């Protein structure tokens, strides 16, 4: 399978209601589980200071383990803060982000379930595409594109289709549970996105990461 873990921080970490220093211990436990290739600082900060503090707290301990550290959408601050790159939620932002960051930074794109968007950004040089079945298709005016999208594979079949047809790596961005991680890996996901399964594990985040690594080995 050869899948690796793509870890998202808790959805509320940047809300201002969560103390990133208190979160740091659980974060380190997750990193200790091994097999993590990339971390995404998930969500949009309620203010610039919240984002800055989270990056300054988590980024160094991530990068010192040779794990890529990305932030979401804000490619300007990704560069300013010395992150490894950016994760975009809008395929239409890819060109602008790549021109700003250049080729030394990671630019990945969440394409939802849109094969059309994934092909466009993949061919344009995106470092990865993410498929996210929690997102619906955007409105499509072109009837040929609409037919292509609506008649295409969904769920796990979308991952398999991508691996068969395209070269850039793909992330299964469905906030995957430990129980279904193996199925996503077998379907063709290069990276398995984890969030709730790690931070809500009844034991601890280390155990969660170890269990996923065992499932996708």
Q: What are the residue ranges spanned by the domains of the chain?
A: 4-216
Closest CA to 152 of 118, 180, 183: 118
pLDDT class of 210 with cuts at 50, 70, 90:
very high
pLDDT (tens digit per residue) in 89-121: 999 999 999 999 999 999 999 999 999 999 999
Distance between CA 152 and CA 114 in Å, rounded? 9
Distance between CA 105 and CA 78 in Å, rounded? 9
CATH of 4-216 among 3.20.20.70, 3.40.920.10, 3.30.300.30, 2.40.50.840: 3.20.20.70
What pTM does this model have? 0.94
């Amino acid at each position: 399978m050869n899948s690796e873990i793509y870890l998202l921080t808790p959805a509320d970490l940047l809300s201002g209601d969560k103390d990133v220093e208190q979160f740091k211990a659980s974060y380190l436990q997750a990193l200790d589980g091994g097999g993590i290739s990339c971390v995404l600082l998930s969500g949009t900060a309620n203010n610039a200071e919240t984002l800055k503090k989270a990056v300054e707290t988590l980024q160094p301990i991530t990068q010192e383990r040779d794990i890529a550290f990305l932030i979401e959408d804000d490619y300007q601050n990704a560069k300013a803060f010395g992150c490894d790159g950016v994760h975009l939620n809008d395929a239409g932002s890819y060109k602008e982000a790549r021109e700003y960051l250049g080729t030394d930074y990671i630019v990945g794109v969440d394409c939802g379930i849109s094969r059309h968007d994934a092909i466009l950004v993949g061919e344009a040089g995106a470092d990865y595409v993410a498929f996210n079945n929690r997102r619906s298709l955007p409105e499509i005016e072109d009837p040929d594109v609409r037919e292509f999208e609506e008649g295409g594979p969904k769920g796990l079949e979308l991952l398999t289709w991508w691996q068969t047809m395209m070269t850039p790596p793909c992330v299964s961005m469905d906030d995957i549970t430990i129980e279904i991680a193996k199925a996503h890996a077998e379907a063709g996901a290069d990276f398995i996105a984890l969030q709730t399964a790690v931070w809500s594990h009844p034991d601890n985040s280390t155990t969660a990461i170890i269990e996923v690594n065992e499932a996708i080995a």
